[in-house]
Structure 1
Amino acid sequence: MENTKGISRARFLAGAAAVGLTGAVLPAGQAAATGRGHGHRGLKHRGVVYTVGAGETPGTAWSAARMRGDVRVIRDDLHADTIDVTGDGVERLTATAAEAAERGLHVWLQPTLGDVPEREILDGIAECGRFAELLRRQGASVDFSVGCEFWLFVPGIIPGATVLERVDNLRKGNVDMARMQRRLARFTAKAADVGRSVFHGRLSYAAAQDEEFEPVDWNLFDVVGIDYYSFFPQPADYVCELRRHLRWGKPLAITEFGTCAYVGAPETAGMGWDIVDYTKEPNEIKGDPVRSERTQAAYLVELLEVFESMGLYAAMAFEFVTADAPHRPDNPRYDLDLASYGITKAIKDRPDDPSSNWHWEPKEAFHAVARRYGRRAGPGGVTMAEEVRAWTGPLS
């Protein structure tokens, strides 16, 4: 399995599209809750997803030194109070979680292991959970998520030995949905049991937003976690859709939300990555999308205002950086950052050299989220209109 969340997210959304997940508008249900998950207006935890992984090349692999610098930036410049540490590799996950805790940040630790035997996935959950409990006992603020979208990552729930094969089976309709959901429920219960056995704080899981596709028994968990990629013209429509997740009477965390930096990306409802032709080497952009960092920034701010108005428990913007999708201002055909959800852009020192070193630079989304996170919402707080006016030029 490739160990980058950007690729995994693309594969997930491909599968989601195959079964009509993305952009689904479902009834609001019976939720009578106001959405005030923690007793006051605004988000309790404002965060960003930080992916650890082996990288597609040695140059983009996780680096302890780079991670430490990124954690400082997330705290001091992005003004986030939470890091969602996700990916595979127990050593990478725990080292990053420890650094975040040392810096006084709230840790949302979520191993995302896949394409390995079920026992290995459960063992990885146990190892990470034990470490999360150690941090908690030392006084750190920690939530532990046992994983992400098990139907995609865990072999045996959907036919196929790899993520790609499972996505292909979804596309072709080669899935018995009732059987898939029974297997999913069985493994989710196993993962929750493992998590509970080693971690005694708040336990969660990151589910797809379509409950008809991935029904989760949230009685197993303390916090409802949803990966959210909807698009609506009016903010009230987001509130209507999200309220159904409150009927469990538990805090709601948006474990992922975001979009890409080109005109029309939010309207794809999570399929923004699908402008890359991965069959070509090097990968290249399909069509002629118009780069617009402003579009990405406006969408993130709008969603944050919705989450704040509902008083949700947490929201984690997806994601801090996607190292394997570098920005190419000199060559738009290979500007893979167009298909990245990162709020920063990765730039290689030598664009055509796979082994080149790289650095990141903030996008408009980074600055917009930093302004939002830097000022607590409440009476007299920053509104979306005020955020937009902080930028120059029209929205595109």
Structure 2
Amino acid sequence: MEETKGIKQAKSISRAQFLAGAAAVGVAGALGPAGQGRAAEPRHGRGLRRRGVVYTVGEGETPGTAWNARRMRADVRAIRDDLHADTIDVTGDGVERLTATAAEAAERGLHIWLQPTLGDAPQRDILEHLAETGRFAERLRRQGAGVDFSVGCEFWLFVPGILPGETVLERIRNLQNGTVDWPRAQRRLADFTAKAAKTGRSVFKGNLSYAAAQSIDDPDWNLFDIVGIDYYSYFPERSGYVRELKRYLRWGKPLAITEFGTCAYVGAPETAGMGWDVVDYDKEPPEIKGDLVRSERVQADYVGELLDVFESMGLYAAMTFEFLTADAPHRPDEPRLDLDMATYALTKAIKDRPDDPASGWHWEPKEAFHAVARRYGAAGHRDQG
């Protein structure tokens, strides 16, 4: 339980702490040597090419919330038939889980954005995990499936050896303590990103990308074919999003929004990606801090507006974050324990017996699910027409 609590705490403060440090010292910057990325042609003004959702595979916090093939197959069908997505971003760790989910998606005719994200492991193991997943992606591609391959996500935080600390928690503590040599961290980040790109190229011959943290992680995009950004900005006017996103088009390559979204409470979009930092994990059970007001409409409006912006700009892809967060169930009768309020999921997990850790559960769509489904469905009809 303590280990799980620690992981959740790390997830809840990591982006905030790094943003603060990066803003203070100007850590962001173009890094690394020129690479081997192709000069793929970007699209502008003709609608999104790929409309997707992030689907995370993992061990889960309990056996009941862990990945399993039966539930995964049902989720993939819902992503295609109910959400009307044409793309699934399969991410997480565990080569077997990643490849089984990608294979199911290919069988269902979905385009696949495959992104292994093994973290807190030796760099050699992370690269081997990347290579094994990439070899499978290449087999799918050769068999005719639509596949883009991402070498990972936000290496500065999840890969040991870039920032000091062997685990996410230790790296967070060092960020808090100010014990980070930023120039050295930049060099190490550039070095590992180049190694990951080289590993990806060695096993996968299609489009290669990486999911970079917005305004923090600015890799040398010459290494890749598609620019990938985890995007969590908030502007009161749409013109603010367009102005900011145009910066990522300067490389002359397609732009994929590899994550975007917000949580389901009033004021969440204004947190600019820190909406999850509202849970007190020192309490047992964990509870929501303060007097937040749940609002699925707030989440739906934000996600819908961002999708409209991405469509208007003709970006390569947008993947809403995320389909499901099974370990943060919805408690409609107890707002203080409604952990779903602090998730970005388009669905809410509901336990049959809320106080029983071994309880069965199911998911139900939120308003954001329906907002995305309407847009994806309408866009699909337009594309076919």
TM-score (norm 1): 0.88
- 2:58 is equivalent to residue 53 of structure 1: yes
What are the equivalent positions in structure 2 for 1:233-248 lying under 5 Å apart? 233-248=236-251
- Answer with 370-379 or 271-280: which moved more: 370-379
What is the CA-CA distance between 1:15 and the residue it aligns to? 3.5
Measure, in 2, the Cα distance between the counterparts of 1:4 and 1:378. Answer: 45
Q: 1:90 to 1:3 in 2, by over 3 A?
A: farther
- Give the conservation status (yes or no) of the 8 Å contact 1:3–1:56: no
The aligned residue for residue 314 of structure 1 is 317
The aligned residue for residue 387 of structure 1 is none
What is the CA-CA distance between 1:177 and the residue it aligns to? 1.1
Measure, in 2, the Cα distance between the counterparts of 1:173 and 1:8. Answer: 16
Q: 1:6 to 1:249 in 2, by over 3 A?
A: farther
Measure, in 2, the Cα distance between the counterparts of 1:3 and 1:204. Answer: 32
- 2:42 is equivalent to residue 42 of structure 1: no
Cα displacement string for residues 116-169 of structure 1 (whole angstroms, at most 9, x for unaligned residues): 101100000000000000000000000000000000010010011111111221
The aligned residue for residue 337 of structure 2 is 334
- 2:183 is equivalent to residue 142 of structure 1: no
Match of 1:230 among 226, 229, 233: 233
Q: 1:299 to 1:264 in 2, by over 3 A?
A: same
- Answer with 95-104 or 161-170: which moved more: 161-170
Match of 1:19 among 17, 21, 41: 21
| Secondary structure in 1 matching 2:173 | helix
- Give the conservation status (yes or no) of the 8 Å contact 1:106–1:140: yes
| Secondary structure in 2 matching 1:127 | helix
How many residue pairs get aligned? The number is: 366
The aligned residue for residue 279 of structure 1 is 282
What are the equivalent positions in structure 2 for 1:64-143 lying under 5 Å apart? 64-143=69-148
| Secondary structure in 2 matching 1:147 | strand
- Answer with 1-10 or 368-377: which moved more: 1-10
Cα displacement string for residues 50-94 of structure 1 (whole angstroms, at most 9, x for unaligned residues): 000000111110011000000000000100000000011110000
The aligned residue for residue 194 of structure 2 is 189
Measure, in 1, the Cα distance between the counterparts of 2:83 and 2:12. Answer: 25
Measure, in 2, the Cα distance between the counterparts of 1:122 and 1:2. Answer: 25
What letter corresponds to residue 176 of structure 1 in structure 2?
D
- Give the conservation status (yes or no) of the 8 Å contact 1:83–1:100: yes
* Structure 2 unpaired stretches of 5+: 29-40
Q: 1:7 to 1:370 in 2, by over 3 A?
A: farther
Match of 2:371 among 368, 372, 375: 368
| Secondary structure in 2 matching 1:376 | helix
- Give the conservation status (yes or no) of the 8 Å contact 2:7–2:169: no
| Secondary structure in 2 matching 1:187 | helix
Cα displacement string for residues 193-219 of structure 1 (whole angstroms, at most 9, x for unaligned residues): 000000000000000111xx3220000
What letter corresponds to residue 277 of structure 1 in structure 2?
D
- Answer with 310-319 or 167-176: which moved more: 167-176
- Give the conservation status (yes or no) of the 8 Å contact 1:208–1:228: yes
Measure, in 2, the Cα distance between the counterparts of 1:51 and 1:376. Answer: 25
- Give the conservation status (yes or no) of the 8 Å contact 2:10–2:169: no
Measure, in 2, the Cα distance between the counterparts of 1:94 and 1:10. Answer: 28
- 2:347 is equivalent to residue 344 of structure 1: yes
- 2:217 is equivalent to residue 214 of structure 1: yes
The aligned residue for residue 173 of structure 1 is 178
Measure, in 2, the Cα distance between the counterparts of 1:11 and 1:366. Answer: 26
- What is the root-mean-square deviation in Å for CA atoms of aligned residues? 2.2
* Structure 1 unpaired stretches of 5+: 27-35, 380-396
- Give the conservation status (yes or no) of the 8 Å contact 1:6–1:322: no
Measure, in 1, the Cα distance between the counterparts of 2:346 and 2:95. Answer: 25
